[in-house]
Structure 1
Amino acid sequence: MKKLFIGSSSEAKKYAEEAKSILKDHFDVTIWYENALGSSVFNLNQNFLTDLLKASLEFDFGILIGTKDDKVKCRRTRKLQPRDNVIFELGLFTGRLGISKCAFVVEEDVKLPSDINGITLAIFDKHKKDSFKSEIEKVSGHFLRSSDEEINFFPSVTLASVYYENFLLPTCKYLIENKGLDYLDKHYDNCKVNVIIPENIQDDVNLQFQRLKHRFTTKDTEIQCAGRPRKITIEAEVRDEALMIIDFPTIISGINYAIKNLFPDDFNTTSQKYLSILGRELGRFISTLHKLLSRNEFGDLVVIRKESDL
């Protein structure tokens, strides 16, 4: 079940609780003051921004509820706007998750930032029965229809894009342009690129992949791709008259570095929170590769396999 975060001001907790009661059948919902993965989303004596960054990595969707909490003077006119921290959280979650995975549910006539365009906006009238419920149900349907493969700005997505551009794209182009690959004095027109993804990321990823490599009998060969200053080294083996290119994307070590740099004080590779974030990031790495391969119709050339499937 997808994980959903609800943020609101303290004054709007009743709306957050009502939203959770509506959404709980379709999502694993956590309100900002509740526990998530065994600990509170916002911890005492912790850096508020650090807690928010963690939350933005732990959840698949975010709903921020904006109510008339603060009086502000705007161009000589007094208006009511949501609490500043709610607007800040909306920006953070939108940047992390993408605009299709976040929604701003706001009270009618509340003052909104001028650059709110593009964000899913649901407006309710607190004086009308079921108005809030109706808007939350609309947001729920929007989230349920959203794609799991949307490319956003998570570290895993960036790393997958770099891996695709620097290895998968030129390799697939080479195989198509040369109608296969010469390997050990023989030309193979039936070629597949196998990308092996581990179940977890160890401190020494190169050593980790060396151990995985022992399961194969690959030999190195080089290909010169057009427009590239140097050759690409690949590892391959022959199986049933087909050439299998085997690659281990060591670039995923960047996921560990990103998590560690975000949460230096409580980075623990055995904790439930870390394992949850890591599993989510590896899943995004894989889904991003699938989307990029599909865009260029390379899906038939590349197989992405988890270590457990070997």
Structure 2
Amino acid sequence: MSLKKAFRPDSPPQILEDGKHVKDFDKKIKGKPSVFIGSSTESLPVAVEVKALLGDEKFEVDIWNEGVFGKTDQDDENGMSNVQWLDGFTDIYDFALFVFVSDDDITVSTRKDEKGKKLKGTAARHNVVFEFGLFLGKIGAKKTFILYQDSDKRFFKKFFTDLDSRKLDDPNENFIRLYGYKGDYQGYKKTKDKSIIFDRDSLAEQVQLIALKIEEAHKEVHLGFLPSTSLALGYFNNFIDIVLGGMFKVFEENKYPTAEKHFTDFEQFDLIQIKIILPDHLKGAKQEDFKKDMEARTVHASMPGKTRKMTVSVHKNSVKEGARELIIYDVPTTLNSSIEAINMLTDKDDIVKMLSKKQKKGYEKAVKQDIVELLSEKERVNFRKALYELLQNAMKNYIDLDNIVSFISWSQFIKETE
């Protein structure tokens, strides 16, 4: 019996439902960090235990054999290749974790050992290494993790020298993260005794470290292939900071909020607020979709800016005689650029050219519906994270800023302006 047959899981890999491109789409779009676990067939017991240790309270975790792949071109002439499915996974998952164990015996013909013979050893399965590299290149080292049996250090030292050198350096966010656990994978391959494949306490300790890193990274602003972070910077610099600079006048050592009223003079307000309307979906940032409601519920007013006058939308009560509150509303239409970038990314011309007409139809239906929705939500959330961080950094320049600038939903805006 072949080694692969001997360690074949009790049930075959699940296949994603036809017409779907994202497993458990509704769960993934809700905001919990999504984690892809890659492993060989033989090391699936490790992957299963890792998923159990991560749990489902904080993370959405999928192992490679749990119905994340749809039909491939080996099963159906209209299916996509494994590489095409994997390419989509790098858009779907926020984080990836790979189990590196000594699956295969290898011989390196171009390198010699101390006796002058061809270098031999054991190494992680090549397709697992390939998948690791695919995710590493797309989502970055900070979000891609290697979990390995610590007795396999020889693999890194002799066959994966780039990783070995990084293990010796002080870790930073650009370094690949390696987590070693105790176990006897070689003994497991000989005896099929799953009880020795890993030491659960040791594995749990390493998985806990990975979980903490995932939680930390998920809270941070992400600068990736899509533009939400750059858009937040532009929105802050070209609107928020300019308006704030005009609202605050410096008298001695104090800063007081002021605003130009009725286009003519300065008047002190008891309360000034900027309310950023963050749509429930990126499509809600299209001006043609909200212009009518915005114009019906607000009025345009001119106010001094840091470098130029700004025309803003304000609550109707703010321009009434004797008004003591100035409420400014704005929808960050710059988010439209994220929609365009997502469409460019998911067009994937290099993949589409390889597909048949039937494949293209299925690809468009799946990708344009599921992945676009998922990426749109990631962009919307990251835009808010980035803008919030910029506002926190601006507090040293503007007093009481956390009470002046806030985020609201479209439904909140409708309620406030009735």
Calculate the TM-score normalised by the size of structure 2: 0.62
Following TM superposition, by how much is the alpha carbon of 1:31 offset from its aligned partner in structure 2, in angstroms? 1.4
Identity of aligned residues (%): 22
Select 1:175's aligned residue among 244, 247, 262. Answer: 247
Q: Write the distance in 1 (CA, Å) between the matches of 2:233 and 2:71.
A: 32
Q: CA deviation at 1:155?
A: 3.0
Aligned ranges 1:1-310 → 2 under 5 Å: 1-26=32-57, 27-36=59-68, 40=69, 44=73, 45-46=79-80, 51-69=85-103, 71=106, 73=108, 76-77=112-113, 78=119, 80-83=122-125, 85-87=127-129, 89-91=131-133, 93-94=135-136, 97=139, 99-108=141-150, 109=153, 110-111=155-156, 112=160, 114=162, 116=166, 118-127=175-184, 129-130=199-200, 131-144=202-215, 146=217, 148-153=219-224, 154-177=226-249, 179-184=257-262, 185-186=264-265, 187-189=267-269, 190-202=271-283, 205-221=286-302, 223-226=304-307, 231-237=309-315, 238-239=317-318, 241-264=324-347, 265-266=363-364, 271-297=369-395, 298-310=401-413
Structure 2 vs 1, CA of residues 170 and 204 (structure 1 numbering), >3 Å: closer, same or farther? closer
Q: Which amino acid aligns with 1:301?
A: I
Give secondary structure in 1 for the equivalent of 2:402. Answer: coil
2: distance between equivalents of 1:159 and 1:245?
20
CA distance in 2, matches of 1:14, 1:245: 56
CA contact (8 A) 2:181 2:199 kept: no
Q: In 2, Cα distance between the equivalents of 1:177 and 1:92?
A: 52
Aligned-residue RMSD, C-alpha: 3.3
Asked if 2 retains the 8 angstrom alpha-carbon contact of 1:4 and 1:62, the reply is yes
Q: How far apart, CA to CA, are the structure 1 residues paired with 2:259 and 2:107?
A: 67
1-side partners of 2:38 and 2:218: how far apart?
23
Shift of 1:246: 1.6
Tell me, yes or no, if the aligned pair for 1:180 and 1:188 is still in contact at 8 Å: yes
Secondary structure of residue in 2 paired with 1:126: coil
Does the 8 A contact of 2:246 with 2:303 survive in 1? Answer: no
- Per-residue deviation at 1:57? 3.3
- Distance across 2 between alignment mates of 1:250 and 1:91: 36
Which structure carries more helix by proportion? 2
CA contact (8 A) 2:247 2:304 kept: no
CA distance in 1, matches of 2:295, 2:128: 51
Letter in 1 for 2:80: Q
Amino acid in structure 1 at the alignment position of 2:65: Y
Farther off after superposition, 275-284 or 50-59 = 50-59
* In structure 1, C-alpha distance between the alignment counterparts of 2:296 and 2:334, rounded to whole Å: 20
* 1:202 counterpart SS class: helix
Note if contact 1:224-1:231 (Cα within 8 Å) is conserved in structure 2. yes
Structure 2 unaligned segments of length 5 or more: list them: 1-31, 74-78, 114-118, 185-197, 251-256, 348-362, 396-400, 414-418
Structure 1's 212 and 140: CA in aligned 2 closer, same or farther, altered over 3 A?
Answer: same
- CA–CA distance in 2 between the matches of 1:204 and 1:289? 16
AA at the equivalent of 1:305: I
- Number of residue pairs matched by the alignment: 304
Separation (CA, whole Å) in 1 of partners of 2:338 and 2:344 = 10
Letter in 2 for 1:284: N
Letter of the 1:307 partner, please give it. Answer: W
Task: Confirm or deny: 8 A CA contact 1:32 1:41 kept in the other structure.
Answer: no
**Distance of 1:192 and 1:16 partners within structure 2:** 50
Deviation of residue 280 (structure 1)?
A: 2.8
Tell me how far apart the structure 1 counterparts of residues 81 and 402 of structure 2 sit (CA, whole Å).
43
Cα gap change, 1:90/1:176 in structure 2, threshold over 3 Å: closer, same or farther? farther
> Which segment is superposed worse, 112-121 or 268-277?
268-277
The 8 Å contact of residues 302 and 309 in structure 2, kept in 1 or not, is answered as: no
Aligned AA (1:125): K
User: What's the offset of the Cα at 1:75?
Assistant: 5.3
How far is the alpha carbon of 1:156 from its aligned partner?
A: 2.3
Return the letter of the residue paired with 1:174. G
Alpha-carbon distance between aligned partners in 2 of 1:63 and 1:300, rounded to the nearest angstrom: 40
Return the alpha-carbon distance in structure 2 between the equivalents of residues 104 and 66 of structure 1.
Answer: 7
Change (3 A) 1:204 1:279: closer
Give the Cα separation in 1 of the matches to 2:412 and 2:367: 23
Deviation at 1:72, TM superposition (A): 6.2
